[in-house]
């Protein structure tokens, strides 16, 4: 059993004294302890290890009051009268003469005590003593109390009388003693070695070899301590970092794009018709300033053609949307509504040479939608978007990658079902199964349509997916209200545990 040096010291006192039980007062006088608090603290540890019992006995102690001290020094008033008469060589004195001997306040009580104890008779105003050297138990006891406070040694009647006279005070104290248990007795049969103990090993201890002489204190890490709240990342940041790590581990690289975008990049390039309801005021934040942005002329022409007639470089590849595509709409500025913009801008930025190579990129960022705030909607939230572009990638590969991605995020029951997005075909939605919650939709994905890719000059298939990270964070943190994520309540932030999957 691992013992603290003080525990060893206390046990050593028992071992040396060959006693089984010792009062704390005595133990604390031993030079190995030297203080009562130390004895008690150590005894508590030892009793936790069942090596000793702490035995408490309530005891009454008696001691002289201030008046008692005086009475002992000057003599009881009744004794002072007797002594006075002894000096005078008489056995009686008129009461009226007593104020030579006693204070006014002492006279009446003194007469009472003389009568009560049958020391003197009082007749017609004169006090007669039988024996001027009378014996008084009360005096005797008071004298003894001065040196021995143990109340049990005295006649309770006398104690009562002295107390009534205000000569003594009684206090209740707890006498503690430490007693070895059976286990403790066993343990001290072996020699106890007291080695200097250190709790920190320093360079010096190692260099001069002193560490060999010391006992290095071990720590009990299971003991509860005060809670500490060191600095840490916000749980939302943790989610972002975790997802980033997973994606980087899967071979993706990160791309970024601005928060403020033209409708051209946010919608047109993604083959979303300019009259698509998603562009309505209720979903998109339109900017007053800047209210229009520049768009690349070359690409604009191509995107206009695909929207209006489904034509790329003079070749008809689609039905198109058959409406009049307007530059003023393309130029309007919005807060991006999804991170799909980052993917598409990345593809648009590729040189001809790069277009022949495979690409895997992702973007994690904030997106904005004009939603009214409730437990699952905020006007501003995080999305994570990724694409894979390569020679022969197909829809099955997309599902495979997503299942792997979701597994790495800790979801093991996953299913996909068909879905619709304006810029992908075919499209799917993935759901994950959560104990007690059932199937939850977690991401959208698909293969970019030719109407999206061809105007950019991309000939290879591109797999794409988008996942709501705020949603993921809620699942991770067990939140039912998305607003909690951004309230930044310190008590929650301090306590919240984030465990990487
Ligand atoms: N951009 C979509 C949204 O915000 C999510 C999405 C769906 C992204 C399918 C994709 C995708 O890349 O293929 O709801």
List, for residues 301-356, the tens digit of each pLDDT value: 999 999 999 999 999 999 999 999 999 999 999 999 999 999 999 999 999 999 99
- Residue 448: pLDDT band (50, 70, 90) is very high
Q: How far is the CA of 422 from the centre of ligand 1 (A)?
A: 9
Local confidence band at 474 (pLDDT 50, 70, 90 cut-offs): confident
- In short, whether 386's Cβ falls inside 6 Å of ligand 1 is no
Q: HEC states along 91-120?
A: CEEEHHHHHHCCCHHHHHHHHHHHHHCCCE
Indicate the annotated binding residues for L-phenylalanine: 340, 423, 448
The pair of three-digit structure tokens given for residue 447, joined into one six-digit string: 């293969």
* Exposed e or buried b per residue across 191-220, where buried means at least 16 C-beta atoms within 10 angstroms of its C-beta: ebeeeeebeeeeeebeeeeeeeeebeeeee
Nearest CA to ligand 1 atom 8: 466
Strand locations in 223-347 (E): 253-254, 260-262, 311-312, 315-316, 333-335
**Confidence label for 173 from pLDDT (cuts 50, 70 and 90):** confident
Enter the tokens of residue 484.
Answer: 């909690």
Q: Give the residue with greater pLDDT, 227 vs 364.
A: 364
CA-closest residue to ligand 1 atom 7:
444
Asked if the 5-61+175-195 domain carries CATH number 1.10.10.10, the reply is yes
What tens digit of pLDDT does each residue of 32-83 get? 999 999 999 999 999 999 999 999 999 889 999 999 999 999 999 999 999 9
Q: Report H helices in 196-252.
A: 203-207, 235-249
User: Mean pLDDT throughout 204-220?
Assistant: 87
Mean pLDDT of 427-435: 93
Annotation: binding site for Mg(2+): 425
Nearest atom within ligand 1 for CA of residue 343: 12
CATH code assigned to 238-258+336-495: 3.30.930.10
Which pLDDT tens digit goes with each residue over 393-427? 999 999 999 999 999 999 999 999 999 999 999 99
Does any ligand 1 atom lie closer than 6 A to the CB of residue 464? yes
224-248 average pLDDT score: 92
> What's the pLDDT band for 282 if we cut at 50, 70, 90?
low
CATH number assigned to the domain covering 64-171: 1.10.10
Return d(Cα 454, Cα 311) in angstroms, integer: 10
Question: How many angstroms does the Cα of residue 468 sit away from the middle of ligand 1?
Answer: 9
pLDDT tens for residues 6-43?
999 999 999 999 999 999 999 999 999 999 999 999 99
Contact 364, 240 (CB under 8 A): yes
Is the beta carbon of 430 within 6 A of some atom in ligand 1?
Answer: no
Ligand 1, atom 12, residue with closest C-alpha = 465
CA of 191 to the centre of ligand 1 (A): 75
User: Does pLDDT of 500 surpass 80?
Assistant: no
Q: Is the CB of 465 under 6 A from ligand 1?
A: yes
Peptide bond into 7 cis (omega under 30): no
Burial 138-161, CB ≥16 within 10 A → b, else e: bbebbeebeeebebeebeeebbeb
Question: pLDDT tens for residues 258-273?
Answer: 999 999 999 999 999 9
Please tell me if the CB atom of residue 382 comes closer than 6 angstroms to any atom of ligand 1: no
* Model pLDDT for residues 353-387, shown as the tens digit of each residue: 999 999 999 999 999 998 889 888 899 999 999 99
Residue 421 Cβ inside 6 Å of ligand 1? The answer reads yes
The best mutation among 257, 347, 449, 465 to test binding of ligand 1, ranked by most ligand atoms within 8 Å of the C-beta, falls on: 465
Could you tell me if 116 and 161 are in contact, meaning their C-beta atoms sit under 8 angstroms apart? no
């Amino acid at each position: 059993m691992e013992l603290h040096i003080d525990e060893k010291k206390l046990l050593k006192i028992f071992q040396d004294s060959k006693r089984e039980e010792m009062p704390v007062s005595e133990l604390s006088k031993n030079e190995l302890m030297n203080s009562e608090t130390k004895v008690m603290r150590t005894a508590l540890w030892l009793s936790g290890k069942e090596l000793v019992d702490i035995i408490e006995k309530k005891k009454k102690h008696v001691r002289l009051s201030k008046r008692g001290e005086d009475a002992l020094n000057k003599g009881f008033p009744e004794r002072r009268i007797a002594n006075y008469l002894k000096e005078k060589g008489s056995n009686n004195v008129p009461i009226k003469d007593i104020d030579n001997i006693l204070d006014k306040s002492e006279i009446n009580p003194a007469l009472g005590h003389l009568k009560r104890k049958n020391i003197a008779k009082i007749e017609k105003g004169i006090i007669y003593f039988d024996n001027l050297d009378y014996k008084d138990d009360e005096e005797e006891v008071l004298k003894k109390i001065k040196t021995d406070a143990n109340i049990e040694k005295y006649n309770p009647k006398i104690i009562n009388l002295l107390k009534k006279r205000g000569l003594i005070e009684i206090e209740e104290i707890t006498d503690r003693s430490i007693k070895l248990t059976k286990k403790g007795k066993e343990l001290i049969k072996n020699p106890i070695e007291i080695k200097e103990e250190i709790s920190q090993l320093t360079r010096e201890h190692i260099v001069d070899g002193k560490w060999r002489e010391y006992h290095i204190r071990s720590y009990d890490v299971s003991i509860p301590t005060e809670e500490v709240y060191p600095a840490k990342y916000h749980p939302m940041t943790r989610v972002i970092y975790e997802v980033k790590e997973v994606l980087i581990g899967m071979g993706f690289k990160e791309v970024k794009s601005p928060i403020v975008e033209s409708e051209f990049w946010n919608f047109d390039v993604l083959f979303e018709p300019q009259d698509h309801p998603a562009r309505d005021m209720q979903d998109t934040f339109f900017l007053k300033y800047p209210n229009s942005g520049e768009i690349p002329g070359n690409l604009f022409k191509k995107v206009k053609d695909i929207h209006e007639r489904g034509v790329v470089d003079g070749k008809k590849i689609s039905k198109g949307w058959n409406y009049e595509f307007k530059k003023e709409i393309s130029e309007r500025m919005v807060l991006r509504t999804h991170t799909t913009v980052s993917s598409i801008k990345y593809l648009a930025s590729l040189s001809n040479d790069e277009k022949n190579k495979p690409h895997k990129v992702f973007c994690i960022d904030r997106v904005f939608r004009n939603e009214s705030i409730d437990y699952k909607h905020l006007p501003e939230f995080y999305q994570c978007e990724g694409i894979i572009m390569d020679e022969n990638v197909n829809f099955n590969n997309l599902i495979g990658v997503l299942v792997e991605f979701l597994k790495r995020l800790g979801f093991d029951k996953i299913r996909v079902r068909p879905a619709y997005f304006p810029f992908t075909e075919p499209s799917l939605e993935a759901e994950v199964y959560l104990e007690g919650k059932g199937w939850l939709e977690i991401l959208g994905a698909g293969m970019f349509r030719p109407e999206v890719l061809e105007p950019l000059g991309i000939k290879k298939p591109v797999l794409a997916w988008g996942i709501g990270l705020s949603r993921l964070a809620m699942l991770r943190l067990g939140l039912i209200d998305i607003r909690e994520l951004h309230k930044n309540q310190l008590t929650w932030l301090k306590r919240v545990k984030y465990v990487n999957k």
